[in-house]
Amino acid sequence: MSIVKCYMSVMDFSAFEKKINITFSDKNLLRSAFTHRSYLNENRKSGMEHNERLEFLGDAVLELIVTEYLYGKFPEKNEGDLTSYRSALVNAVTLAGVAEGLGMNEHMLLSRGEAKDTGRARQIILANAIEAFIGALYLDGGYESTKMFVSRHVLKLVDDIISQKTWLDAKSHFQEKAQEIVGVTPSYETVKETGPDHDKKFTVAVFLGKERVAEGDGKSKQEAEQQAAKAALLAKGWE
């Protein structure tokens, strides 16, 4: 993981603009897209705006572009399949991967504490940042320019997502494999709850019949079930 720069004085977005072959008219929009709320907590006099409003806008623009594309590309698919494809294209894992590939991590404006975080926390920050960037691009360059960007960097992933079945969430994937290979539908059981009501942690076990295959943890039962299913796919060698 490269060191993330945290000070506006050393941040230059021209290299990023050159890499994506897009030049912003309003540089403040571009800066805001890369500005995490935590950065402003340490730089209150910067006069900048964090990226959460742009993220809100970009999320909607991205969903429209992806939905329009999938609707046209797969006329034979039903609503459920199209929704699953869209979810796979716009989830945090996919978007964070796109953001990393574009080098967005090198340009994020973060607090010193956030700059040290890695793993899931950084993944979410990057996913939110690329949505904010899409919102900024929409405001600066319009819908068609944004559509071209999304096509080049997000929509190109759809064929791999479908062929590799990554559009299936872990529970769906494990259920499909279990029914195909052993003819059993998985069941889930919450085996432990810890923490206060406002900060619960759940442990869920997944079973094939009486066989306890794996466990997963999460801040909700749904998240724990997904983690259990991921672990079960690995345990069975079905991933």
Beta-bridge partner residues of 208: 211
- The pair phi, psi for residue 193, each rounded to 5°, is -130, 130
194, two tokens: 């810890």
In angstroms, the CA 13 to CA 105 distance is: 12
DSSP letter for 219, please.
Answer: S
Query: Torsion angle of alpha carbons 160, 134, 35, 108, nearest 10°?
Result: 30
Helix or strand holding residue 192 (H, E):
strand 187-194
Give exposure, 205-227, as e/b (b: 16+ Cβ within 10 Å). bbbbeeeebbbbebeeeeebbbb
Please give the positions annotated as active site: 59, 131
For residue 188, give the 3-state DSSP assignment.
strand
